[in-house]
Amino acid sequence: MKRTLISSMLGLAFTTVVSGCTAKPNDAVANFQQDESPLTVTMLARYESGQYGVSAAEILDYHTQSQSIFVVNAKSGQVDILDASIISVINNASPSKIDPLTLNNLAKKATLNLASDLGLSRLGSVNSIAIFDDLLAVAIERGDKQGNPVQDRGFIGFYKLDNAGKTTYLNAVEVGYLPDNVVFTHDGSKVVVANEGEPNQDYTVDPEGSVSIININNNMPSKKAINISFNDFNLHSTRHHELPSGVKINGPASTVSQDLEPEYIAISHNNAQAFVSLQENNAIAVIDLNSQRVERIVDLGSKDYGLNRNAIDTSDKDGKVNIQTYPGVYGLYQPDTIASYSIDGADFIVTANEGDARDYAGFSEETRAGKLTLDKNHPQFDAIQDKKQLGRLKVTTSMGDTDNDGDIDKIYSYGSRSFSIWNAQGKQVFDSGKDFERITADRLGINFNNHNTKNKGDTRSDDKGAEPEALALGTINDRQYAFIGLERTSGFMIYDITEPQHAYFIDYIVNRDFTAKFEIEDGVITKGNLNTVGDLGPEGMKFIAANKSPNGKPLLLVANEVSGTAVVYQLQQ
């Protein structure tokens, strides 16, 4: 039976259609790679939570000493602990047939229950985890006393880990509103937290976004966090003049500090700076970790879809792959995950440019391009009237009237359907352009820009495309690689970024059967059986260097929030 599962690394027990790849269907572990690719990507292990569409596998990290994978089971308020020691056994196993769509050979050995350990009411989802040596930090949100689900200050729960991966609860430190990402500095001396400060649905409560620092002394966290606010950038405050005009501030009646929403953090090579993505604002904040203040805010600008290198497909109603240019239409980068690496002491920032709109019951900036009042001289005046061209594209109403005459002169959409590399000053040195759309269209055909809750091709062309969100960096034999997860279409891209200005595509890896009929709505499977669909919605990724890996080889861990699966890939040159 011929199945149109497209992949570049899967060792399958059935016939596979692969574009530009070499296949060995009977190998014990997947070993499909792009021709001329310097990396062989092999699926070694996989964990199925059995929970779909409820963020059962979001962010993950690895504890070297116990060979354990810690996976955020977000909405449950828990963290699942998986036994990764089996990886070294798998690596030496005799060949046997496996199906990577149904592989489930990682065992869950324990679960952390944050609500029980912290002993506090109104705790919500676990949003992030980080491990340094034997210290685990977990970010959890909290609802306020008025019943708003995530609008109170959250906490970082700390745990001590032993060599078997057993956890001992230490304490919890209160941080800012809605802690969304937690990281350690490279030397383990600090924990840095991005507090998103998201508004409630009515937009009547909009907490301030902030960054928290928790000092670590002798492997023990301080009892109190240092909270860094953006209040000085508010109107009439001392640093408002430093706020770049291109930073998107559009929350109704919100101050700048309320409107800024820290999303993700990367640490400079010398632990002196934290680079913080402000996703909704299309900006990056640079935090001086020594002086504990905001050093600057950088406006990321926009991507010109009128250029051939940036061409996109903007319609989910055209029934075909239709990647083309649109002069006068722009994409806001709006990165989610952010990472950094250094070359000869110079830091470079890598961003997965997912995009995000403010779309709440009390305020929404989101509309279709066809509903805009467009300047009659705009080059896309006719195209926005056509649903098979530009009419369906989701755009913002908060930007684009450059001459203040009441109509839109520039059309701005969310995200840039790419990943980018920036220098430490915020200047872009590389963008993947139209690569993601072109490559997924080449590999998947009409299944490109697919949704992650059903198989219906070309359903996301009008809405951020494949949606790059997850991101991890890793060095293998002196080459620096970026791994970028595509949240909607699923799978991940691999790029060599050793020379930032000349980064280039290596491979696209996806473990998904695009022929399966299924649908998920609000965490409920309403159609089909997801047991054989594969991995949907990569949300978090972690690179494990060879010297910390269970089998002595580089690994990539991927958490897929929609399928609730965690996957271990081996990377070899």
Total domains, the chain: 1
Nearest to 376 by CA among 403, 347, 395: 403
Residue 126 near residue 139 (C-beta atoms within 8 A): yes
Compute CA 80 distance to the chain's CA centroid, rounded to the nearest angstrom. Answer: 20
Q: Domain of 432?
A: 2-300+335-356+415-572
Judge whether 69 and 125 are in contact, CB under 8 Å.
no
Report whether 166 contacts 119 (CB < 8 A). Answer: no
Residue 290 in any domain: the answer is yes
CA nearest to 391, candidates 450, 317, 442, 319: 317
Residue 57, domain CATH:
2.130.10.10
Pairwise CA distance, residues 218 & 108, whole Å: 30
Instruction: Express each pLDDT in 186-206 by its tens digit.
Output: 999 999 999 999 999 999 999
Q: Decide if 464 is inside a domain.
A: yes
Contact yes or no for 441/368 (Cβ under 8 A): no
Name the maximum alpha-carbon separation found in the chain. Answer: 71
Give φ, ψ of 233 to 5 degrees.
-95, 0
For 83-95, how does the pLDDT look when each residue is reduced to its tens digit (9 = 90+)? 999 998 886 554 4
Query: Residue type at 86?
Result: I
Q: What is the pLDDT along the chain (573 residues), one digit of tens a residue?
A: 223 333 333 333 222 222 333 222 222 233 333 446 789 999 999 999 999 999 999 999 999 999 999 999 999 999 999 999 999 888 655 445 679 999 999 999 999 999 999 999 999 999 999 999 999 999 999 999 999 999 999 999 999 999 999 999 999 999 999 999 999 999 999 999 999 999 999 999 999 999 999 999 999 999 999 999 999 999 999 999 999 999 999 999 999 999 999 999 999 999 999 999 999 999 999 999 999 999 999 999 999 999 999 999 999 999 999 999 999 999 999 999 999 999 999 999 999 999 999 999 999 999 999 999 999 999 999 999 999 999 999 999 999 999 999 999 999 999 999 999 999 999 999 999 999 999 999 999 999 999 999 999 999 999 999 999 999 999 999 999 999 999 999 999 999 999 999 999 999 999 999 999 999 998 899 999 888 999 999 999 999 999 999 999 999 999 999 999 999 999 998
Q: Which amino acid type is present at position 542? A: K
395 in any annotated domain: no
Would 228 be classed as within a structural domain?
A: yes
In a domain, 306, yes or no: no
Beta bridge partners, 485, equal: 470, 492
Task: Indicate whether 62 belongs to any domain.
Answer: yes
Counts of helices then strands in the chain (DSSP H, E): 4, 40
Strands 428-431 and 419-423, how do they pair? antiparallel
Q: Which amino acid is at 90?
A: I
Determine, yes or no, domain membership for 327: no
Distance, in Å, from the CA atom of 95 to the CA atom of 102, rounded to the nearest integer, reads 17
* Residue 30, domain member (yes or no): yes
In sequence order, the 6+-apart residues with CB closer than 8 A to the CB of 355 are 279, 331, 332, 333, 334, 413, 414, 415, 416, 464, 467
